[in-house]
Each structure stands twice: as C-alpha cells, then as structure tokens.
C-alpha cells in the first residue's frame, strides 16, 4: 500500500466518534448494526453517526446494506485488515529486522 493511501485510511481514525463507531462495528461482527443500535452502542447521536458514516464509507471502511428496509452497517474487515497488516509488516516486523541487522 502506498504511503498516500495509508495516510488517507488513517484519516478514518481522525475523530474519537469514528474510532468508537469502528470498534462497535468490529465487535458486532458480520451481522453488523443498524444506525439506532450503533447509536446506543457508541452513546452517539444519530446525526453525529451520519456525519461520521459518510467519511468512513468514502474510505471504504464500512459497508452499508439494506435489510428489512433498515440500513445495516458492517465494518469492512478486508480494508481494515489490509491496513493494519501493512502497518504491522512495515513498522513492527520491518523495524525488528532493521534492529537485528545492526547487531
């Protein structure tokens, strides 16, 4: 993943509300949460969630589907796993390799 793309995705975590939303959606698993359930789980108003969801959806960090005429939100684990996996490889494992080569 290019540094520019990585920085763009990190912007998804720019506010505490977005972090709480992503945490709640990750905890909910593949079933996801409705906007009302997400509001209750994060102690965030529906209006505030709407603004955050717009940003998260534009970053492809969440998926939104309609089930029984209700929006259901699910964390996009593929994108999140890719991003955190890349961080781990470059900044944790890669750093260990640099330290080992210095010894």
* Mean pLDDT, all residues of the chain: 86
Residues 76-91, mean pLDDT to the nearest whole number: 86
Q: What is the pLDDT of residue 99?
A: 52
Residues 23-44, mean pLDDT to the nearest whole number: 94
Q: What is the pLDDT of residue 82?
A: 87
36-62 pLDDT per residue, tens: 999 999 998 998 888 889 889 999 999
> Apex CA 11: angle with CA 81 and CA 8, to 5°?
75
The pTM score is 0.78
**Bridge partners (DSSP) listed for residue 73:** 33, 64
- pLDDT-derived band at 72 (thresholds 50, 70, 90) equals very high
Which residue in 38, 42, 47 sits closest to 17, CA to CA? 42
């Amino acid at each position: 993943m290019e540094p520019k793309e990585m920085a763009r995705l990190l912007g998804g975590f720019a506010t505490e509300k977005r972090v709480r939303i992503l945490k709640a959606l990750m905890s909910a698993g593949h079933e996801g949460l409705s906007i009302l359930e997400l509001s209750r789980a994060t102690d965030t108003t529906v209006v505030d969630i709407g603004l955050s969801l717009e940003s998260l959806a534009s970053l492809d960090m969440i998926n939104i589907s309609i089930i029984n005429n209700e929006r259901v939100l699910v964390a996009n684990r593929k994108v999140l796993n890719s991003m955190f996996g890349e961080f781990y490889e470059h900044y944790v494992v890669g750093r260990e390799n640099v330290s080992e080569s210095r010894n």
